Structure 1
Amino acid sequence: MRVIIAGCGRVGSALAVQLASESHDVRIVDRRPKTRRLLPAAFADRFHEGNAFSRTVLEAAGIEHADAFVAVTSGDNSNIVSARTAKETYRVPTVLARVHDPSRADLYRELGIPTIGGVRWTVLQLHQMLLHRHLTPELTFGNGETLLVRSELPAYLTGRRLTEFDVDSEIRVVEVTRAGRSTVPAHSTAAEPGDLVTFAVAVTALGRLRGFLDKELGT
């Protein structure tokens, strides 16, 4: 997976190192050349100096072939602009952003950009959301310990009761959209082809939820 990270502060550099250790292709963009020192020497050719909303800089980092873009600069305005550029201009499949001012979270949400807030959980959340990017994040709670995510159910789960996917304290089915109509499922509601299901899930249980879906997603 090729990931471009805008912002090489503590969060951006930590996320970059973790993803690179897992053999992902990671590129870093930051307008401050001194932040390069937060990265190992192996990142020498993968650090791009400049503004993350500059198309020239983004294209030099390979955004046209990126699988994901993460905006974690120190400024919300920069994060919004760069995330929108990645999503709307370059059609990057997965775009995530850090929000410093909680009052701006709704703006990101209206743009269809999942947000991460708070320091303690930021790297963990971004890492989990990148690895499980087929699960669409809708909303985060607290410091991001719990997420609402949506996914179309794979065909092999047809006929199983939706409550079978519940895992105590980790995963809960809270909504299903079927033929364009949203309902709160009853205990007896069975999965049907094309169901779009909303799960409340602990961020640490994303891998377990993905296990229900992997067979059809093939990733």
Structure 2
Amino acid sequence: MGCGRVGSTLARGLEVRDHSTAVIDQNPDAFRRLGPSFTGSTVTGRGFDREVLKRAGIETADAFAAVSSGDNSNIIAARVAREQFGVTNVVARIYDPGRAEVYERLGIPTVATVTWAADQVLRRLVPKGDEPLWRDPSGTVRCDQMLAPSPWIGRPVREMQDGTGGRISHLTRLGTGLIPERETIVQEGDLVSIFMLEQDSDAVLARFHNGPTDEER
């Protein structure tokens, strides 16, 4: 639902990946954004209207994305798709960060575009490393990506993870992503992606940069 810049880009991206797609928008002129090569269906109407959703094929849909410009419309449509039509894979774009957190707690996955955009801009404004790579909508969990400090070079991921209290999700080595085993040896130049609770971040990051303790060495 929604054929603005996000919706049209999403629809084309799904089609390129061989998914059949239906796009709903109140304004029929919006479908021009899909381009002449788009082969999916287009439905004019309100995306939270049951009959409009049925015309778009909601009864056999595997997933539903509500990405219009209105928070209320998106959340209503997402709830109708999930609760009345049984679509389990539903996501809603929400501009208001406070609402996004509430709906996440209700079990409706949201993309808080304002929070995400602000975080991305902030990461480029402040000194490198001051802001995380990613933070979940509730602000509870964060992911930081940093070069492996020299004290950890030559040591297994297991020691880094146990020593810092964070969780190493992956390494980027020579430009290629790598999901490490516990015994994978950290090499010079590795970019380490580490998840942690926001409340523990000061301690985790300090242990990450300081390296193993004397006992661990």
Q: Does 1:27 align with 2:22?
A: yes
Question: Whole-Å Cα distance in 2 between the matches of residues 16 and 119 of structure 1?
Answer: 21
Tell me the CA shift for residue 34 of structure 1.
1.1
Cross-structure match for 1:96? 91
Cross-structure match for 1:15? 10
Tell me the CA shift for residue 93 of structure 1.
1.9
Cross-structure match for 2:62? 67
Write out aligned runs for 1:100-179 (5 A). 100-118=95-113, 139-140=136-137, 166-168=169-171, 169-170=192-193, 172=195
Question: Whole-Å Cα distance in 2 between the matches of residues 105 and 43 of structure 1?
Answer: 31
Query: Partner amino acid for 2:5?
Result: R
Q: Larger relative CO (CA 8 A, sep 6+): 1 or 2?
A: 1
Tell me the CA shift for residue 120 of structure 1.
11
Q: Is the 8 A contact 1:166 1:173 kept in 2?
A: no
Residues 1:49 and 1:69: Cα distance change in structure 2 (over 3 Å): same
Matched residue pairs, number?
139
Map Cα deviations across residues 182-202 of structure 1 (whole Å, 9 max, x no partner). Answer: xxxxxxxxxxxxxxxxxxxxx
Tell me the CA shift for residue 118 of structure 1.
2.4
Map Cα deviations across residues 122-145 of structure 1 (whole Å, 9 max, x no partner). Answer: 8xxxxxxxxxxxxxxx94478xx9
Tell me the CA shift for residue 166 of structure 1.
3.8
Question: Whole-Å Cα distance in 2 between the matches of residues 140 and 107 of structure 1?
Answer: 10
**What is the identity percentage for the equivalent residue pairs of Structure 1 and Structure 2?**
44
Question: Whole-Å Cα distance in 2 between the matches of residues 139 and 121 of structure 1?
Answer: 9
DSSP-derived class of the 1:96 partner: strand
Cross-structure match for 2:181? none
- TM-score normalised by the chain length of structure 1: 0.55
Residues 1:121 and 1:173: Cα distance change in structure 2 (over 3 Å): closer
Moved over 3 A (4+): 42-45, 119-122, 138-142, 161-166, 168-174
Structure 2 residue runs without a partner (length 5+): 118-134, 144-157, 172-191, 198-217
Question: Whole-Å Cα distance in 1 between the matches of residues 14 and 99 of structure 2?
Answer: 27
Larger gyration radius, structure 1 or structure 2: 2
Question: Whole-Å Cα distance in 2 between the matches of residues 107 and 172 of structure 1?
Answer: 23
DSSP-derived class of the 2:74 partner: helix
